[in-house]
Amino acid sequence: MEEDKKIQEASLEEEKEEIENNKKIKSRKKFLDAKTKNLISVIILLIGLFLGSLYVDLAQMFSGKGVSQKIINGSDVFSLNGRTWVAYENPIVELSVINDENCENCDPSEALVGIKRVIPTVSVKKIAYDSEEGKKMIEKFSLKSVPAFVFSREVAETDFYTQAQSLFTEKDGQYIFNISQVGLPVGKYITLPEIKDDSIKVGSQDAKVKLIVFSDFQCPYSKAFNDIMKKVLSEYSDKIVYSYRNLPLESIHPRAMDAALAARCANDQGKFLDYSNKLFDNQKAWSADQGNQIFKTYANQFGLNAGDFAKCLDEKKYEESIKNDLAEANEFGISGTPGIFINDQFKGGVVDFDSLKKIIDEQLAK
């Protein structure tokens, strides 16, 4: 009996051991099956990616309708559909061009060609100046003329910006490009300078034709235009108003600011036109003189109160006013003299009498 019991126990142990081995075999098989499935999934994924890349490469090769990442990563330059694509490190820069498409002088093509040369990643968006978006941008950036060029903040990351920051004015993360500083002409002014109560003016402020002239007493071109203005005032004295704005270009005309101050002081006593003509007519004399006594001598010749004039000039009473004229000229993109507004028309440089007369007559006939 004892022996049968031992045999029975041994049989049970063997059975347990066999069951345990079977469990291990099944568990191992499941593990291998799962590993195999994962491996197959990876292989399928890799094959899919390979075939996808191969398909795009073949599509690009045979139909020209696709470009693979391999091609993009492998070359800085490649061709597609007859165009050449070049890789740049600069970001995409958005450029809003606010313009009047009906303006003959407002074509921005020349400017855009130059901009694309120095910022090849620029993306251009055209905005009509009289659209709602255009009006908002004009008000936001206090734009005076069109075409106007407003860049996105990414322009600050370009090499061109690093080299030419002075050409840009930043506002609210956008950058306005000053075209006048690179010699590009204004196409059309959408805002005009105003003749205010304290402006230097000759004639009625309510006159139909307003001539606003930005000028420099030491500039030879301003002198030539002043001779023409004498004829204009003689012929149209009761039909126009002439307003003089000071734009002394001190970098090339070191005596222009003192002359401008003297003329403003003469205007205080109602003698601007006489005094300004004296300055232009004797430009060489006072330009070569180092002090302000010569300006005081001119004041005596016109019977001005010598004490008041001298005090006004010595204390530079109108320096701030002249700086305001300079700031206004900058806002309107006027960097040379003379700069002439005849109502809404602008002419830069000397305008001969016949041409000026024609414009005035056209304005009076409206």
Considering the domain architecture, whether residues 212 and 356 belong to the same structural domain is answered as yes
Average pLDDT for 323-343: 94
> How sure is the predictor about 216, in pLDDT bands with cuts at 50, 70 and 90?
very high
Give the CB-side neighbour count of residue 337, counting CA atoms within 13 A: 28
Average pLDDT for 181-200: 89
77 versus 160: the higher-pLDDT residue is: 160
Q: How far is CA 155 from CA 49, 109, 151, 180, 356, in A?
A: 37, 20, 6, 19, 42
Kindly give the interhelix angle for 220-236 and 272-281, rounded to the nearest 10 degrees. 140
Considering the domain architecture, whether residues 207 and 290 belong to the same structural domain is answered as yes
Cβ neighbors of 226 (< 8 A, separation 6 or more) are 215, 276, 277, 280
Where is the domain boundary, 189, 216, 251? Answer: 189
pLDDT tens for each residue of 42-71: 454 444 444 444 444 544 544 555 566 666
121 versus 39: the higher-pLDDT residue is: 121
What pLDDT, on the 0 to 100 scale, is given for residue 250? 96
Q: How far is CA 52 from CA 80, 89, 106, 225, 351, in A?
A: 19, 28, 49, 73, 69
Amino acid type, 334: I
Considering the domain architecture, whether residues 183 and 286 belong to the same structural domain is answered as no
* Region at 342 (left for phi over 0; alpha for psi -120 to 50; beta for the rest): beta
Would you say 291 and 211 are in contact if contact means Cβ atoms under 8 Å apart?
no
What pLDDT, on the 0 to 100 scale, is given for residue 160? 93
What pLDDT, on the 0 to 100 scale, is given for residue 121? 94
Most confident of the ranges 12-16, 43-47, 189-193:
189-193
Amino acid type, 360: I
Considering the domain architecture, whether residues 321 and 228 belong to the same structural domain is answered as yes
Average pLDDT for 294-321: 97
Q: Identify whether 49 is part of a domain.
A: no
Considering the domain architecture, whether residues 302 and 175 belong to the same structural domain is answered as no
Is the model's pTM score more than 0.75?
A: no
**Paired residues of 200 in beta bridges:** 244
What pLDDT, on the 0 to 100 scale, is given for residue 39? 56
| Closest to 352 (Cα-Cα) out of 249, 238, 221 | 221
Considering the domain architecture, whether residues 235 and 356 belong to the same structural domain is answered as yes
| Closest to 177 (Cα-Cα) out of 109, 95, 90 | 95
Considering the domain architecture, whether residues 167 and 227 belong to the same structural domain is answered as no
> How sure is the predictor about 85, in pLDDT bands with cuts at 50, 70 and 90?
confident
Average pLDDT for 225-236: 97
Considering the domain architecture, whether residues 213 and 253 belong to the same structural domain is answered as yes
Average confidence score pLDDT of the chain: 86
pLDDT above 80 (res 214): yes
Domain that holds residue 350: 200-365
What pLDDT, on the 0 to 100 scale, is given for residue 347? 94
Average pLDDT for 220-227: 98
CATH code, domain carrying 165 = 3.40.30
What pLDDT, on the 0 to 100 scale, is given for residue 33? 60
What pLDDT, on the 0 to 100 scale, is given for residue 72? 63
Considering the domain architecture, whether residues 214 and 285 belong to the same structural domain is answered as yes
Cβ neighbors of 127 (< 8 A, separation 6 or more) are 96, 97, 98, 99, 133, 134, 137
What pLDDT, on the 0 to 100 scale, is given for residue 45? 42
What pLDDT, on the 0 to 100 scale, is given for residue 46? 45
- What's the CA gap between 227 and 210, in Å, rounded? 18
pLDDT above 60 (res 188): yes
Considering the domain architecture, whether residues 230 and 361 belong to the same structural domain is answered as yes
In total, the chain counts a number of residues equal to 366
Domain count, the chain: 2
pLDDT tens for each residue of 256-302: 999 999 999 999 999 999 999 999 999 999 999 989 999 999 999 99
Where is the domain boundary, 129, 161, 189? Answer: 189
Average pLDDT for 340-345: 95
pLDDT tens for each residue of 241-256: 999 999 999 999 999 9
334 versus 30: the higher-pLDDT residue is: 334
Q: Identify whether 295 is part of a domain.
A: yes
What pLDDT, on the 0 to 100 scale, is given for residue 95? 97
What pLDDT, on the 0 to 100 scale, is given for residue 302? 96
Across 54-58, 119-123, 203-207, least confident range: 54-58
Considering the domain architecture, whether residues 184 and 279 belong to the same structural domain is answered as no
Considering the domain architecture, whether residues 160 and 293 belong to the same structural domain is answered as no
